[in-house]
Amino acid sequence: MSQKYGASGLWTYNTTANVTREAVRDLRDFKSNDVNFKLALWNPSTNGVRYLKALVYTLAGGLDAENWQRLRNIAHRDVGDPFSVTYDGETVCLDYIQAVYELGFITRTLDLDGRSVLEIGAGYGRTCHAMLSNHDVASYHIVDLENTLELSSAYLAEVLTPEQFEKVTFTPVSDVDDTVAGRHFDLGLNIDSFAEMEPDTVVDYLRLIAGNCDHLYVNNPVGKYLDKTLDDHVQGDEVVALALRTGLLRDVIDIHDNRAVAAEVPKFLDAYRPGPAWSCVADGPAVPWSYYWQALYRADSAAV
């Protein structure tokens, strides 16, 4: 018998460890176990960064000239050592790809130059960084929890110019009524944190926005999910239960079923409308997550 077409040392190992005679006889779930992880699919459980970088690479390839320019305008994006790829000589990470898409969505309707902005829950500050790097915003006010404010203030001091950083005000949630209430903002925004707050807290923020802002941009999930294959509930059942109780939109859906997601959109648009005298002027899916939606609302009085 000829051996010249035999298995390599690597595949000799694979046929004894993964693609075994016993394993290949069972077709029930071979596409989601070690058999297929050696034939066609990298194991998602141990190759998360590989898939993340593949996602970033693919998204970078789809950026149009306008979004590339927005991205290039944002200096110091590598601070914090993000998972990045290099595309056309430019270092790109997922956070700032999302930021330029969000900025493009907002500015199709609202000119940000000279505007005052109120962001509720800014994370480490990438939206503020992107916005101030691309527009001559008059002022930018961030409201957040104290630990997160410590991070965003340090990060933004590092990545913004001194002149840009002077425009930013940081307010802990405990001081909102004293510092924010009574002030006027052209734009309020929340990205991916209303869904993690107590429902009454979201309602209070929407009332604040209704009374103090002319516009609201919101980007959040349309519902909850319980697909354990996504993260194996690694933080434990108690944290899962906590997550299911937060936000205004708590229906559990199949987040990878486009029709199921679309069915929740009317609830999303209604839930985040700050008040009866507000209109949704733009909405659509939010890159890249299947179950996130974005919307821009305008107070009817601001349309005059």
pLDDT in tens, 79-121: 999 999 999 999 999 999 999 999 999 999 999 999 999 999 9
- pLDDT at 36 (0 to 100): 94
φ, ψ for residue 92, nearest 5 deg: -135, 135
Q: In the structure, what pLDDT confidence band is assigned to residue 303 with cuts at 50, 70 and 90?
A: confident
* pLDDT tier for residue 4 given thresholds of 50, 70 and 90: confident
Query: Does residue 292 contact residue 253 with C-beta atoms inside 8 Å?
Result: no
pLDDT at 114: 98
Is the confidence at residue 304, as pLDDT, over 70?
Answer: no
Question: How many C-beta atoms lie closer than 10 Å to residue 51's C-beta?
Answer: 11
* Cα 106 from Cα 41, distance rounded (Å): 37
Beta bridge partners of 224: 252
Return the number of other C-beta atoms located less than 10 Å from residue 189's C-beta: 24
Question: What average pLDDT does range 214-243 have in this prediction?
Answer: 94
Which residue ranges form the domains of the chain, and what is each CATH number? Answer: 94-303 (3.40.50.150)
Q: Which amino acid is at 134?
A: N
As separate numbers, helices (DSSP H) first and strands (DSSP E) second, the chain gives 13, 9
* 302 Cβ neighbours under 8 A, 6+ residues apart: 214, 215
For the ranges 9-13, 260-264, 298-302, the maximum mean pLDDT occurs at: 260-264
Most confident of 22-26, 231-235, 258-262: 258-262
Which structure tokens are listed for 63? 């950026």
Predicted TM-score (pTM) of the model is 0.94
Q: Report how far residue 299's alpha carbon sits from residue 280's, in angstroms, rounded to the nearest whole number.
A: 9
CA distances from 187 to 75, 122, 214 (A): 24, 14, 6
Percent of the chain, pLDDT > 70?
A: 99
- The yes-or-no verdict on residue 237 having pLDDT over 80 is yes
| Residue in 298, 293, 291, 270 with CA at minimum distance from that of residue 283 | 293
Are the C-beta atoms of 92 and 111 separated by less than 8 Å?
A: no
| 236 Cβ contact list (under 8 Å, min separation 6) | none
Average pLDDT across the chain, whole number: 96
Task: Find the mean pLDDT for residues 260-267.
Answer: 98
**Interval 161-177 mean pLDDT:** 97
Q: What is the pLDDT of residue 182?
A: 84
- Encoded tokens for 75: 């200096």
pLDDT at 2 over 80: no
